[in-house]
Amino acid sequence: MSDKINPDYYKNKPIETIEAIRSQLSVSEFRGYLKGQICKYLFRYQEKNGIEDLNKMLWYANYLKLFEEQLINV
């Protein structure tokens, strides 16, 4: 079964897509990107993809949590 939240086409590259995005942005810009993704999926879930969008929102929220933890431990 394919992972609809973080599919292989995002991961099967020399660098994972989200890491490529992260490398192009400042800390505050990347934080804003993640928060924007969280809002996007939260705001649209009832009208678009339901539980799948909530799972995507949680994926980005978890990524943001890990990102913030990494900043604290630096």
Q: Over the stretch 3-27, which tens digit does the pLDDT of each residue have? A: 777 777 777 778 888 999 999 999 9
- Spell out the domain ranges in the chain: 8-72
Packed helices 17-24 and 27-44: angle between N→C axes, nearest 10 degrees: 130
With a pLDDT cut of 70, the percent of the chain lying above it is 97
Alpha carbon separation from 65 to 35, 48, 58 (Å, rounded)? 11, 25, 10
Place of tokens 């992260």: 22
Could you tell me the pTM of the whole model? 0.83
